[in-house]
Amino acid sequence: MPISTRKVFVPVAELSFTDESQTPKWRVFSGYEAVGPGTSRETTDGMVWSVSPCEWTVLGDRPDDSVDLTHVRSMFRLTGAEAPGLINRVCALDLGDGMFPDGAAARTLLAGIATEIVRDDEQGSPSYLLLPSSSFGTYVRNVIIDAGAEFGLVSPPNETL
């Protein structure tokens, strides 16, 4: 019996990929000093993270003295056991639990695009917020959908950004 050389990609785990770009996002420059660079935390204002000193991003209600990032940053959520492997197809950041645990935040290149990545696990499953500039939102979305085909990720019909 001949050996088949055809590649077959079988979904190995359930993945969820959603566009959450309309979530209000704010940049602030003071008031969240307890959230150090490279970390995130839930606060009374919403989720807060920092990827550089003296600069924080807040999801949720508008904090005092903030700059609106809602329309300049796209935001996607990728959730599932295979999410780290999928992201690592297009990003060199080590997403292993020891290096990038729940609550970690970083600014890195994802498919060559500067992107903030925040690990925000949901119900014990790895979950990542991906925040590229909105001008690259469609590109990043398409790259994730393409890289995710191997993992069974499909784009819903007629979905637009």
Q: 3-state DSSP call for residue 9?
A: coil
Q: How far is CA 32 from CA 72, 78, 83, 128, in A?
A: 22, 26, 29, 21
Enumerate the β-bridge partners of residue 45. Answer: none
Task: In whole angstroms, give the CA distance from residue 151 to residue 143.
Answer: 13
Which residues are within 8 A (CB) of 128 and not within 5 positions of it... i.e. 6 or more apart?
A: 77, 78, 79, 83, 84, 87, 95, 117, 118, 119, 120
Q: Amino acid letter at 123?
A: Q
Q: What is the pLDDT of residue 156?
A: 61
The mean pLDDT value for 13-40 works out to 94
Q: How far is CA 102 from CA 23, 114, 124, in A?
A: 20, 21, 10
Task: Give the CATH number of domain 18-151; options: 3.30.365.10, 2.60.120.330, 3.90.1530.10, 3.30.1360.120.
Answer: 3.30.1360.120
Do residues 67 and 8 touch, judged by C-beta distance below 8 A?
Answer: no
The mean pLDDT value for 71-75 works out to 96
Confidence check: pLDDT of 9 > 80? no
| Among 95-99, 141-145, 148-152, the least confident range | 148-152
Express as a percent the part of the chain with pLDDT over 90. 82
Q: What is the pLDDT of residue 153?
A: 86
Q: What is the pLDDT of residue 142?
A: 94
Confidence check: pLDDT of 17 > 80? yes
Phi, psi of 85 (to 5 degrees): -65, -40
Q: What is the pLDDT of residue 3?
A: 46
Q: What is the pLDDT of residue 66?
A: 96
pLDDT in tens, 80-138: 999 999 999 999 999 999 999 999 999 999 999 999 999 999 999 999 999 999 999 99
Q: What is the pLDDT of residue 5?
A: 41
Q: What is the pLDDT of residue 82?
A: 95
Confidence check: pLDDT of 10 > 90? no
Confidence check: pLDDT of 2 > 50? no
All structural domains of the chain with their residue ranges: 18-151
Comparing CA positions, the residue from 114, 112, 88, 110 lying closest to residue 99 is 88
